[in-house]
A and B are shown apart, each in its own frame.
Chain A
Amino acid sequence: MNQLKVNGVDHSFSGDSEMPLLWYLRDILGLTGTKFGCGEALCGCCTVHVDGEAIRSCVLPVGDAAGKEITTIEGVAENGPHPVQKAWMDLNVPQCGYCQAGQIMQAIALLKHKPKPSDQDIDEEMAGNICRCGTYQRIRAAIKAASAGGAS
């Protein structure tokens, strides 16, 4: 039995400990904001925070996430959008939007480590997140906007 804390709520899971956190979030808890893109940690669609760090939930076994604080896109802000989400909205970043939850989760983690990221910081930290619609220049601009706006 694994104990998991997701967006501040405690859960216990008696299923396969090897199941990636992604599928536990999506299929078992019904938290579908976190997306499936590749299953191999190659695209970043499934990015969530585990103890505040951005990780690819498609390759993290549930058993390894037990006892840790897991935050998904649904849990990053309670009232109104997070400053990073706000920046994404202000700059009309999304096109299809499918990858954007992962992008936002990665960007929040980036800004936590580097409140004023350089272009190179952004390249390094965001290169794991694919956007097939090609919204990268707006992602870069939104990260800078959120940074200037004092995102935590």
Chain B
Amino acid sequence: MSHIQNVSRRGFVKGALSGGAFILAASIVPDVVRADTAKDTPADRAILHPNVFVGIEKDGTVYIIAHRSEMGNGSRTALPRILADELDADWKRVKIIQAVGDARYGGQDTDASHSISSFFSVMREAGATARLMLIRAAAEQWSVPIAECATDLHVVVHVPTGRKSGYGDLAFAAAKLPVPKKAELQLKSRTKWRYIGKDASLYDLEDICRGKAIYGMDARLDGMVYASIEHPPVLGGTVKSCQNDEALRVPGVRQTVLIEPFTPPHEYQPLGGVAVIADNTWAAFQGRKKLRIVWDDGPNAAYNSDTFRAELQETARHPCKVVRNQGDVDAEFDKSRTTIEAEYFVPHLAHATMEPPVALAEFRDGKVTAWVPTQNPQSVQELIAKAVGIRKQDVICHVTLLGSGFGRKTFGDYAAEAAVLSKRLGKPVKVVWSREDDIKFGYYLPVAGMYLKAALDSKGKPAAWLQRSVFPPINSTFDSAARYGSWELNNNWIEVPFDIPNFRVENGPAQAHVRLGWLRSVASAYHTFAVQSFVNELAHNAGRDSLEYLLDLVGPPRIVDLEIPGYKSEPGYPLDIGRLRRVTELAAEKAGWGKRKLGKGRGLGIAAHRYAHTYVASVVEVEVTEKGDLRIPRIDTAVDAGTVVNPAYVRAQLEGSAVFGTSIARSGEITATNGVVNQGNFDDYPVARIDEAPYQTNVYIVESDAPPAGVGEPGVSVIPPALCNAIFAATGKRIRDLPLSRHRLI
């Protein structure tokens, strides 16, 4: 077997990952990631493997590495298709290999909707590199100029003679050639793309539908035992005493194991507690019920979410830290005859991934092999290494399919639990979280109180605008002293692009009392709710159509480039108001805004923003029945995500986002009493079901050749404000705090 020898080792520039997730990975991968050693994947073992993402075997099989996690986002299909396109490979002959956690692939933390935007070029170049080597090998064999050779779906063709040679037949010769430099590559023109921009089904579609796909929950090893863990009910709590005699009498229970509490800050560490080890999941669950534990609840035992909410809202009523200041808002407030203010509130939210956290790990001979449904396998390597006292490179983290992620599975606490237990027990351990564990021990989206105020001119348009948000920061997960938001403020807060001369943005302090994390759409879930609701209130106050008013605030097409310390717009992704206007107008037009006759109790609401470099607008139609029940007959969403790789799954993501946003608006709420989370399952943490979800979500993709952007999250956070604006249009009832389940709609 021949491997390319003269491959230069390339440095992997790691970004500053403080707080983990929201640093876009474009800067943390080399231009083309190259293999530095032969590793053990079929792609690496293939005859031709010019870089870590692709290998071609002599039978023509093309192995492509999927290095990002698949959780319904479609990246396991879309990224390999980009590579396959530039390779001019036959998709039917592509086998996708899921990468283990390994820094050689660059960033693998599948969050922040950036798999495509960060790796579009990398994948193209990886495919084009292999393609050029195959062309050069064929030209050499045929003794013809390279310029006379082209590729056509898995074969190299000598254009003047029509002579052909398959990729598999050329792989051996190609592998002897030097790997071309980036400057030598010729990427396809857009018009030549075979796969990019074309609908594709998920690579795993049939396996999923036939029950053969393997999720973390399905991982098995011979000799493994099952563990279910009773965590401290309050964050930071510890075990005072534990009586396990009754638990041990449950058939199938083998033993109990004390797991040490974390050292603050909690980061991704296990919470500690008592694990029940058993022969099967059921016995472990039953054993847990029989544990008698006395807890020391620790420093968060006084946390009551109702009191906390009042504190957040009170903080938001007073001047806070200024994070953007333009013009003189106070002067305008002083001289204005009309000011309007409003308070908004969004509670803690839980991810409730369909597959609860689960992990299988085996500690053997000083090394750990784990099978984890994780968004962040390199972090799992680090975490396990630290938890069991070994080196990161001695942890192999296999990434299974994820039964959804939504941000929860960037946190690998459950994987570390499995590794710690396996080391203690000397056998493979599968840790299974119950749904109650999932809901009660989440990394919740921060609860947020917001205050907005506008001074209006004679036409009802703001001459000055003030917005304050107060929320415990997600950085508290990494820094116990954190009180202020950081990158959350870039989630549709600092960059609100309204054409208003005096504009001030503030952020107030709050302390976290539960674990906090990013949840699909993150701070945008509360920021966009406040901003887009307030716009609607001002439109109503001015007696103007809310679409027209929103477009007026957004202003004329232009590039907004804010120069604000701590805020940076991503290079290559300027905030383009023309694109924002276009999606807004398109969604409205498709929804029949101002034209369609709506029945009794019906109304339309709109919201628009940019998130993850994607411009999105949704028009929600609601029907509020005479009994006050809410139906959502239709949502029209327009999206401009730049260059689109797989339109089928862009539509799917936006359809799903509409449902996810509906769940947030209707019923999403985590509360706590004396530090203990009150919710535990889908009865008290309801999510939208088929009869509560939007009946029909129509998605319109704006054609664009701008750089690709993200689609997993942007469509979520426009839904709650658009929905509440629609409820206002239908009923005159203004909702300023979520969820709707706390309100009567008539």
Contacts and interface: CB of A to CB of B under 8 A. Distances in A.
Interface string B644-673: 000011001101111110100000000000
A88 B209 contact: yes
- Residue picked from B72, B283, B352, B406, most chain A C-beta under 10 Å: B72
B557 interface: no
A20 B567 CA distance: 53
B97 interface: no
Nearest to B214: A32
Given A15-B251, A37-B435, A39-B435, A137 B355 contact: no
A100 B220 CA distance: 21
Interface in A11-38: 15-16, 19-20, 23, 26-28, 30-38
Contacts, number: 192
Contacts of B657: 134
Interface string B265-298: 0000000000000001111010000000000000
Report, nearest first, the 6 A-B pairs whose CB atoms are least far apart: A33-B211, A134-B659, A98-B403, A95-B72, A96-B72, A73-B211
A100 B690 contact: no
Given A15-B252, A96-B354, A97-B401, A127 B280 contact: no
Interface in A126-141: 126-140
A70 interface: no
Contacts of B150: none
A40 B356 CA distance: 14
Contacts of A73: 210-211
B648 A92 contact: yes
A64 interface: no
Contacts of A26: 218, 281
A42 B354 contact: no
29 contacts: A16-B283, A19-B283, A23-B280, A27-B280, A28-B280, A32-B218, A34-B211, A37-B355, A39-B435, A39-B681, A40-B681, A40-B682, A73-B210, A73-B211, A95-B72, A95-B404, A96-B71, A97-B208, A98-B354, A100-B208, A101-B211, A128-B689, A130-B354, A132-B406, A132-B660, A133-B656, A134-B655, A134-B688, A137-B697
Interface in A76-108: 77, 81, 85, 88-89, 92-101, 104
B252 to A, nearest CB: 7
A97 B281 contact: no
B251 A16 contact: yes
B656 A30 contact: no
Contacts of B652: 92, 95, 135, 138
A42 B682 contact: yes
Contact of B211 (A37, A74, A95, A123): A74
Nearest to A123: B691
A99 B354 CA distance: 7
A89 B211 contact: no
Interface of A: 15-16, 19-20, 23, 26-28, 30-40, 42-43, 45, 72-74, 77, 81, 85, 88-89, 92-101, 104, 119, 122-124, 126-140
B494 interface: no
Contacts of B401: 96-98
Given A134-B659, A136-B693, A72 B402 contact: no
A108 B132 CA distance: 50
B210 A85 contact: yes
A94 B252 contact: no
Contacts of A139: 690
A97 B204 contact: yes
A111 to B, nearest CB: 15
Interface string B216-248: 011010000010000000000000000000000
Interface residues of B, number: 67
B210 A131 contact: no
B402 A96 contact: yes
A134 B281 contact: no
A130 B682 contact: yes
Nearest to B654: A134
B690 A23 contact: no
Nearest to A120: B691
Scoring A37, A42, A138 by chain B CB atoms within 10 A of each residue's CB, the highest score goes to: A37
Contacts of B281: 23, 26-27, 36
B602 to A, nearest CB: 17
Contacts of B689: 127-130, 136
Contacts of A99: 354, 403
Contact of A38 (B201, B215, B435): B435
Contacts of B205: 89, 92, 94
A77 B697 CA distance: 32
Nearest to B689: A127
B429 interface: no
A97 B214 CA distance: 10
A122 B687 CA distance: 18
Given A15-B251, A15-B252, A97 B72 contact: yes
B434 interface: yes
B683 interface: yes
Contacts of A28: 280
Nearest to A140: B690
A98 B355 contact: yes
Interface string B672-685: 00000000011100
Nearest to A122: B690
A105 to B, nearest CB: 9
Given A16-B252, A97-B209, A134-B659, 18 more contacts: A16-B283, A28-B280, A32-B211, A81-B210, A85-B209, A89-B206, A94-B72, A98-B215, A99-B403, A100-B209, A130-B689, A132-B352, A133-B354, A134-B693, A135-B652, A136-B659, A136-B690, A139-B690
A9 to B, nearest CB: 16
B212 interface: yes
Contacts of A123: 690-691
B213 interface: yes
Nearest to A124: B691
Nearest to B220: A30
Contacts of A134: 655-660, 662, 688, 693
A48 B619 CA distance: 38
Contacts of B697: 137
A33 B435 contact: no
B201 A92 contact: yes
A52 to B, nearest CB: 18
A96 B403 CA distance: 6
A43 B285 CA distance: 18
B694 interface: yes
Given A38-B681, A123-B690, A94 B208 contact: yes
